[in-house]
Amino acid sequence: MKFASISDLHIKSANDPSYEMFNLFLNYCLEQEITHIGLLGDIFDLMIGPHLEFYHDFKPAFELIREGLRKGIKIYYLEGNHDFHLEGFFRLIGFTKFPNFTYSKGATSIQFGHKILYISHGDDLGNSSLGYNIYSRFILRGRFVSLLAKIAPYRLVTGIGHFWSNHSRMNKKQKHLNDDVIRQKFRDATQQFWTKKKFDVLIIGHSHLQDSFALSQGAIVLNNGNPANTRLCAYVDAQRAALIAFA
């Protein structure tokens, strides 16, 4: 059994270098006979709603995922805060007919041999502010945005989404957040998460900060950071849990 996951590529277009990294990762998984693949959110910088245009824009990647599903690879797609309300989309392109495809809105447990493996985008561990939690739960993932994503034209959805994404990115830059403070905040959150879930390995993203460490109880936590730059993915097998190069 071999598990590999990636998150936070924030692919903007088919010409984006991050898209090339995503295809390299998927090909790596197929070539290395990975048995479980995790796509842990924010793979795309904006993907919302059941719009077939997303499939046509990124067809090679989705067909690599389909190839993996046909081979029996278990594939998990977790919502991020940039790609969500995608149940209808995956139904349209036929992924939901595969019993080995899982779409999840939050942290997901996997019985991986003798290990308990948890995968999460990382913004649902209890470390986010009250304001973010309200925004995420009731606005982004609320019924209004879900309905808008279904009925609005693709170009309108993507136009609004990219404007929101760029605005959010500018706000983060203006706040001048300290990487060490953010990294420690996530480490504290994973310790609290362990007290509730008792995992052996936890794999997260969201922070864009590469991290690999062991909790005091021996559980391992991995974060691939920004894989478009590092070319690292999270990897787990019977012997180890680590960040490894996929390209």
| 3-state SS track over 69-120 | HHCCCEEEEECCCCEECCHHHHHHCCHHHCCCEEEECCCEEEEECCEEEEEC
Q: Is the pLDDT of residue 144 over 80?
A: no
**Residue 134 CA from chain centroid, whole number:** 20
Distance, in Å, from the CA atom of 72 to the CA atom of 3, rounded to the nearest integer, reads 13
**Residue 150 clears pLDDT 90, i.e. is over it:** no
Listed by start position, the domains of the chain span 3-245
H-helix segments, the chain = 17-31, 52-57, 59-70, 87-92, 130-134, 143-151, 154-175, 179-197, 227-230
Q: What is the residue-averaged pLDDT of the chain? A: 88
Q: Which residue matches tokens 């904006």?
A: 46
pLDDT at 178: 87
Mean pLDDT of 179-206: 94
* Threshold 0.85, pTM exceeds: yes
Q: What is the CATH number of domain 3-245?
A: 3.60.21.10
Q: Indicate the DSSP class of residue 58.
A: T
Among 145-159, 168-182, 219-233, top mean pLDDT goes to 219-233
Displacement of CA 133 from its chain's centroid (Å): 18
Provide the β-strand partners of residue 11. Answer: 44
**pLDDT digit string, tens, across residues 8-60:** 999 999 999 999 999 999 999 999 999 999 999 999 998 998 999 999 999 99
Token pair 């081979």 is found at 71
